[in-house]
Chain A
Amino acid sequence: MAAFAFYLFAGLLLTSGLMVITAKNPVHSVLWLILAFFNAAGLFILLGAEFLAMLLVIVYVGAVAVLFLFVVMMLDIDFKALQRGALQNLPLGLAVSGVILAEVLLVASGWTAGQGVIVHEALAGPPPGMTNTQWIGSQLYTRYFFVFSMSGLILLAAMIGAIVLTHRRRVGIKKQSIAAQNARTPGGTVAVGKAAIGQGVEL
């Protein structure tokens, strides 16, 4: 049963991965990508990593892919023209990937699986009385504290970069100034006048 589920998820994952890059419509590509994420999450569940599976669904499907979808919908790019350019290079690309495939097959044919694998204190699983999620947390915040906190700085750098590259002070736009609004008095803004019949009001 587990083997069947593995091949089901793995097969669907590969198919949807292939569809991501071959789909004509970019929106379809993103939707295939979401399917790929779901199948990868399924594979994680099979491995017993339920937390990672949920993380993949929540973060990648829930946030990243949906954002992708918005961006793709808003971009005004002629994907047809882009693909036409890609088709021109197709023969060369196929030739290169053919060579690489042949090389990989040659290597794989002369190589028995498992040879050369050095198993080093394989992590058996969480210590007794600890769930998977707890275990990930305890490793992340103790053993891997250094790289974890430095990853935070990478995100900070990305944030600064995004602001540097997109923020600009534009002139001639209308902005709300709450202080100015609050400082308005009826005397300065309201005028009572009498409009004569048949004539407009002079302001």
Chain B
Amino acid sequence: MHPIFASIAIAGPETILTLGSLAALMLGTFTPKHRALVVTSLFAVAILGVAGFSLTDAPAGRSIAFDGLYVADDFSAYLKVIIMAAAAASVLLALPWLQERGAGRFEYPVLMLLAALGMAMMVSANDLLTLYVGLELAALPSYVLAAFSRADDRSAEAGLKYFVLGALASGMLLYGVTLVYGFAGSTQLDVIAQLVSAQAERSIGMLFGIVFILAGLAFKVSAVPFHMWTPDVYEGAPTPVAAFFSAAPKAAALGLMARVLVVAFPGKVAADWQQIIMFIAIASMVLGAVAAVAQTNVKRLLAYSSIANIGFALVGLSPGSPAGISALLFYVTVYVAMTLGSFLVVLQLRRPDGGTVETMADLAGLSKTQPKLALALAIFMFSLAGIPPLLGFWPKFAVFQAAIASGLLGLAIIGFIASVVAAFYYLRLIKIMYFDEPAVALASEGSPVNGALIAACALFCSPLGMLAMSPLAVATARAAAALFPA
């Protein structure tokens, strides 16, 4: 077989997504207008499912494709499953919202597929070029999606802000890539690793490159100090789009960050990037916890919550150890379910005037008007706060344990304090829902699909989710081991 066909077979999920997104575009164009959106969305979900399913058929171990540009291993497979699932959920949860607007814009699922393709590329990047192209392919549809309800000024502003700041971050990342290439002479991650470990002294130029790459990636995961865009974009973007932003892209960017740092910069350089990651983690946890206290808008609150959660996930990356990476993957998995669930509840609620819920005061007395949704949201909030019987506690425990095992006790203590502060606003939301008098009678939008998704997320986050912990532990440990060649 010609190597190109072998490579295309190894990059199976990407191939399926590429062909699928093109087919979805054609399908949407040639289907009658009133059905185009539903047909294309279901097709997109099917494509994401097939792409995710194709991973189960992948050969075990590490396969390199396209002359070293692409790698398929357990790490990429694990993250791709999460990305496909989160993207499919994001396509489904947007359906009622899109239909309600009467826009019938079938481009939404197509853009989602293209973004998923970019994210799949990101976690399989074995070369800085693949990394950059994947990142751009994931980012460009995101900018468009943020501005999707164009008639709304806030949405247009969110799209523009995201685009300008995203372009700046891409520029920084690219500058870092050129520096690393200039000093190492290669863009391939494992080759860089060989050169770095063969070197007697660490190179300052290379360090500059790492700093710039990290700055670009920190923007993508919305970690402090590159988080400023997050609350504005989450607030301005349509709620289903904000839900999408908070889930799949975060998983992809964290996976990419872990792979680049652990695979390409081992040994002496590791201490340098670990310092940076620790700083970013502490700053994100503290700022995410403190700034959220003053928020009154639900979407802004969830944005700050996602900043804080990225900080906690990065605690897992700080030690750069297999246990840490495995904890990071576990954290990402649970976080995706919690955040998607919270956004789904917000999306499902309707004010009497037909608008979506914006302020926290709107949620007052939700337990009386919508007891089921209030219960689900309470589960997500308790879980995000990390209250023990719920699943959200365990990943926090795992990342702190990994940090302490590597001697980063201070980091774990700061993280613990930040999580106590963060618990305040999660619990305040629960207090507003359960103990305040209802201000407005909120109605449920009543979409059965979204209801089922909420139920699934809530079950996963509830104490029942602990049943999933041991298979998850096996899977994350195997995925993390893929980054550390014996």
Binding site for B on A (CB under 8 A): 107, 111, 115-122, 142-147, 150-151, 153-154, 156-158, 160-161, 163-165
Contact = CB atoms under 8 A, between A and B. Distances in A.
B195 interface: yes
B121 A150 contact: yes
9 contacts: A111-B204, A116-B204, A120-B191, A146-B11, A150-B133, A153-B21, A154-B133, A156-B114, A160-B144
Given A154-B133, A164-B105, A118 B70 contact: no
B185 interface: yes
Contacts of A157: 111, 114-115, 137, 140-141, 144
Main secondary structure of the interface of B (DSSP, over half): helix
B340 to A, nearest CB: 23
Interface residues of B, number: 50
B129 A144 contact: yes
Which residue, A121, A122, A146, A164, has most C-beta atoms of chain B within 10 A? A146
Nearest to A104: B208
A151 B67 CA distance: 17
B144 A165 contact: yes
Contacts of B133: 147, 150-151, 154
A147 to B, nearest CB: 5
Contact of B150 (A116, A147, A158, A165): A165
Contacts of B184: 118, 120
Nearest to B137: A154
Contacts of A122: 185
B342 interface: no
A148 B121 CA distance: 13
Nearest to B69: A146
Contact of B111 (A116, A147, A160): A160
Interface string B316-330: 000000000000000
A153 B204 contact: no
Contacts of B159: 165
Given A111-B204, A116-B201, A146-B11, 8 more contacts: A116-B206, A117-B185, A118-B183, A118-B195, A146-B69, A154-B140, A157-B115, A160-B144
B286 to A, nearest CB: 23
A120 to B, nearest CB: 3
A143 B130 CA distance: 12
A161 B140 contact: yes
A153 B201 contact: no
A161 to B, nearest CB: 3
Given A151-B133, A164-B105, A165-B144, A120 B186 contact: yes
Given A120-B191, A147-B133, A163 B185 contact: no
B141 A161 contact: yes
Contacts of A164: 105, 107, 111, 144, 148
Contacts of B7: 146
A148 B183 CA distance: 24
